[in-house]
Amino acid sequence: MTTTPAAAPTNLRRVPLAKRFLTFTWLTVGLAIAILVFYTFVQPSIVVDTLVTGGMWALLAAGLALVFGVMNIPNFAHGEFFMIGSLTAFFVFSPLQDAMFNDPAGTGLLKIVAPFPGMIAALIVGFAVGAVLEVILFRPLRKRSRDQWVMNTFLLTAGVSVVLINGDRLIFGNDFRGATRYWDVRPISILGTSVSVDRIAVFVIAMVTILLFSAFLLRTRTGRAMRAVAQDEAGAQMAGISLNRIFVLTMGLSCALAALAGASLLWLYPSYPDVGLQPLYLAWYVVILAGLGNVQGAIVGAFIVSLIQTLTVTYVGLDWIDVVPTLFIILILLFKPSGLFGSEVKGVWEQ
């Protein structure tokens, strides 16, 4: 342990600016930004697509990263909360949609607010299911043994995923439950591309949620406690923070975010039992790219993954939308397993 008081405070400002930004991380982020700027002039639809889907992946990935960062749980069932969200939104939205269909004249306000109750319901249901899982599964496991916790919880969530997918199938069958659109309004033209109001709404919802979520983590007492638990569990307990309470909140919040993503995308991904598969892969790509457990990194990483997807669709073909990002993430795992923004997880390379 080096304790020379003079040497220890590393002064970041001393490092030359060029050197700080010539790292792999910043080169990647810079390249992504450069590509976006380039396409703003050449083919703006790519930029619009990237931002719109990126916002949603950010919601998903932020929750996944949060649960890993705070509770060390790599959640294999994260996509199922997307499914739960879209299912909830469907059941709340369809009666409202029917009401509008039956009475097209007198429902001006309803037309605007109709999608929101479903989203709010999805948040609540997602939170509740997540919190219940923490209490009935993760807490007993934590009590029994914390040996190989990360791997065991990964397998445990694999079981949860199977139960949720097939539970949905059992109760609601294999039907697709969706909505053709949330807002029946003419598309708006942005940068020369016409963008549906639904897509814009999704982007705005994602951005607002992420802002609120960041503010919660950075500025509130509970958010700070969450970060404290992520950084040092024992230290947090010494400060009087109840781990159980934080774990319930964290799991609930993470699942609520995924459910909100599912609800907002109901018109694009109709709800069916394994609708959560693709969102699960993508959220995982993002957290691996960003560094496991790094919430802020995940938000940036979501847009990079979204950009890769959009470029894949444009230049390789729609069929390859998942394959190309997968190959890219495999490369990341090979050469930089701690991710672009560094992971707070130890034991990436077993010593």
Residues between 159 and 198 that touch other proteins (CB under 8 A): 159-163, 165-170, 173-174
Q: How far is the CB of 323 from other proteins (least distance, A)?
A: 3
Any idea of the CA torsion for 122, 124, 125, 130, to the nearest 10 degrees?
120
Tell whether residue 274 is a contact of other proteins (CB under 8 A): yes
| Stretch 287-346 residues interacting with other proteins (CB under 8 A) | 288, 292, 317, 319-320, 322-323, 326-327, 329-330, 333-334, 337, 344
Spatial neighbors of 86 by CB under 8 A, at least 6 apart, are: 122, 177, 178, 262, 263, 265, 266, 269, 270, 271, 275
What phi and psi, each to the nearest 5 degrees, are found at residue 74? -85, 100
**Distance separating alpha carbons of residues 81 and 160, to the nearest angstrom:** 11
Q: Which of 55, 63, 115, 273 binds other proteins (CB under 8 A)?
A: 273
Tell whether residue 18 is a contact of other proteins (CB under 8 A): no
Query: Do the Cβ atoms of 350 and 148 come closer than 8 Å?
Result: no
| Stretch 59-118 residues interacting with other proteins (CB under 8 A) | 74
Q: How far is the CB of 168 from other proteins (least distance, A)?
A: 8
**Distance separating alpha carbons of residues 344 and 186, to the nearest angstrom:** 46
264 versus 310: smaller Cβ distance to other proteins: 310
Tell whether residue 148 is a contact of other proteins (CB under 8 A): yes
Kind and range of the H or E run holding 169: helix 149-172
37 versus 238: smaller Cβ distance to other proteins: 238
Q: Which of 58, 122, 228, 299 binds other proteins (CB under 8 A)?
A: 228
| Stretch 127-146 residues interacting with other proteins (CB under 8 A) | 137, 140-141, 144-145
- Per rule CB under 8 A, count of chain residues that contact other proteins: 79
Query: What residues pair up with 194 in beta bridges, in sequence order?
Result: 189
Which two structure tokens, joined as six digits, stand for 47?
A: 């930029």
